[in-house]
Amino acid sequence: MDKLNINQHISQQYNSALDDLKTEFLALGGIVEQQIIKAVKSITDVDVDLAAEVMAVEKEVDKREIVLDDLCTQIIARRQPTASDLRLVMAISKATRDLERMGDEANKIAKMAIAISESETLPHGFSELRNLGRQVQDEVNITLTAFARYDVDMALQVVDKDEEIDREYATAMRELITYMMEDPRNISRAMSIIWSLRSLERIGDHAGNISEQVIYLVKGLDIRHKTADEVAEQVSQD
Amino acid sequence: MTEIKGDIVVDQKTTMTTNNKVVLDGDNDKTVGEPFVENAKMSMRHVNVFYGEKQAIFDVNLDIASNQVVAMIGPSGCGKSTFLRCLNRMNDTISICRVDGKLFLEEQDINDKKMDVVPLRARVGMVFQKPNPFPKSIYDNVAYGPRIHGLADRRSDLDEIVETSLQKAGLWDEVKDRLHQPGIGLSGGQQQRLCIARTIAVSPEVILMDEPCSALDPIATAKIEELIDELSQNYTIAIVTHSMQQAARVSHRTAYFHLGKLIEVNETEKVFTNPDHSLTEAYITGRFG
């Protein structure tokens, strides 16, 4: 945190308000990360109890999203933050939305786990799901660590990794389409896996968005909607 | 990246950086950002100011662009007001004050000792921290300058100057029915706008404002800020302010002073979102002051 010297304001209250904001954000990050891990496990292990656990956390995530929004609003209203403080508040305000969406996607995966548990035969695609799940979990973990440490290099890794995840997702989709074409009776079962893969891919996108916010926060650069090469060039120029 | 302008060489960024912020190195504290512009109304070069033995301003180079608002910010005692007062030779009134360097108003060096300061101060007007209307009527406050500078031959011309000045200062509607009442009978915010009307009555090219809102309430402040924005269409404005939010609201460019040195000059938008210099960052985020 002290790379950006958040704790050195003349006003101790301002220090603690920004500290609280970041702590709350990372706490929400931790909860959502756990939700994702459990959601993937619930589907690959077809564990209904675990899926129920994931779904039970949703309300908590929603509540924390509101608290974070309120903290951001209060800081803007009372402190009129500037420069790195302003970027921190803006970044957290946007990243919170991404975290909440990631939680929603984890929830969808948990629902699919329950749906799969109710079907008689297990569908294909578990290994793809496990693979993509592992990668996305990594991506989320690196993203949150990058945020906690204000680490641009780690954030850039995520931006790169996201393209890899997109490729992996496309490959898994091709596999599953082939599986469905082989026997139309596979379709409804395969759809659960497809929806889950889709959710994982979305989680990866949200993690990518948060990483972009880390770069904005630390460097003051807006790298959204740019290719990986353009991003690398922009960051190295600065 | 190095920019060369006239005989001045300025490093856009010094080489020593941590976390993309330039760190002040004692021997390498050149101004960062963009102190120079294409369409400069005023250009200051190598300005050093001394109060007796004590140096208050160190080698400041800065351009003020035509029809732009430049805000000067910095902690107390950083020299921002001293620098502002150089721009119309107000420091001449302090006997121990010495100003070195070149200060150009367009092509003319106003720091030239042969320069007559009376017409200079008509071209470069000033508004002070506390409203200071003359103990005269509202009309005479505004008419005073045009009269002594011989800008109006006929009464009707003078009337017109008074009306348009008060209109430009956003005060006409409030005072048009009591032009001959004393100026000091107005509220603080109205008095300050009267002082602005008095300044613009002599058709200046540049208006200097030294904390013009620090004695005013938020509503009067908002009116002056609105006025600054309108005035910038016709005048070049340099404003010194203690309120960083005010600098952020009214200025196009912001100059940050620290211990008599000009640390950073950049577009206001940049200064308040991603300043180049760590000292600027520390000051505007309230880490010292």
pLDDT for the residue numbered A4: 64
Lowest pLDDT segment from A52-61, A109-118, B5-14, B17-26: B5-14
Q: Are B60 and B47 in contact (CB under 8 A)?
A: yes
The residue count for chain B = 289
Domain that holds residue A86: 12-237
Is the CB of residue B274 less than 8 Å away from at least one CB of chain A?
Answer: yes
Reported as a pLDDT band with limits 50, 70 and 90, residue B232 is very high
Q: State the average pLDDT over residues A146-159.
A: 94
CB-closest option in A11, A83, A87 to B284: A83
Query: Amino acid identity of B98?
Result: R
**Residue B24 has what pLDDT?**
46
CB of A237 less than 8 A from some CB of B: no
Domains of chain B: 1-30 (no CATH), 32-284 (3.40.50.300)
CB interface of A with B, residues 84-123, below 8 Å: 84-87
CB spacing of B287 vs A10 below 8 angstroms: yes
Q: How far apart are CA A29 and CA B60, in angstroms?
A: 48
Q: Which residues of A touch B286 (CB under 8 A)?
A: 9-11, 14
The pLDDT assigned to A5 comes to 65
Query: Is the Cβ pair A3, B272 closer than 8 Å?
Result: no
Selecting from A4, A9, A218 the residue whose C-beta is nearest the C-beta of B286 gives A9
Q: Which of B244, B273, B286 sits opposite A220 (nearest CB)?
A: B273
Q: Is residue A113 part of a domain?
A: yes
Tell me how far apart the alpha carbons of residues A130 and B53 are, in angstroms, rounded to a whole number: 76
How many separate domains does chain A show?
1
Confirm whether A223 is domain-assigned: yes
The enclosing H or E element of A213 equals helix A187-219
Q: Is the pLDDT of residue A1 over 50?
A: no
Contact A82/B285, CB-based, under 8 Å? Answer: yes
How far is Cα B232 from Cα B224, in angstroms, rounded to an integer? Answer: 12
Asked if residue A4 is part of any domain, the answer here is no
Q: Is residue A5 part of a domain?
A: no
Residue range B151-193, pLDDT digits in tens = 888 999 999 999 999 999 999 999 999 999 999 999 999 999 9
What phi, psi does A23 have (nearest 5°)? -60, -45
Model confidence pLDDT, tens digit, residues A53-79? 999 999 999 999 999 999 999 999 999
A vs B: CB pairs below 8 A: 45
Residue A155 domain-assigned?
yes
Is residue A225, in this structure, part of any structural domain at all? yes
CATH code, domain carrying A109: 1.20.58.220
Mean pLDDT: which of A177-186, A227-236, B93-102 is highest? B93-102
Query: Which candidate in A4, A13, A82 is best for mutational testing of the B interface (most B CBs within 10 A)?
Result: A82
The stretch A113-137 carries a mean pLDDT of 87
Tell me whether residues B287 and A8 touch, CB distance under 8 A: yes
Distance from CA of B251 to the nearest CA of A (A): 15
pLDDT band, very low/low/confident/very high, at B46 (cuts 50, 70, 90): very high
Residues of chain B with pLDDT > 90: what percent? 82
Q: Which residues of A touch B281 (CB under 8 A)?
A: 83-84
**How far is Cα A206 from Cα A96, in angstroms, rounded to an integer?**
10
Minimum CA–CA partner of B287 in chain A: A9
A72: in domain: yes
Cβ of B285 within 8 Å of Cβ of A84? The answer is yes
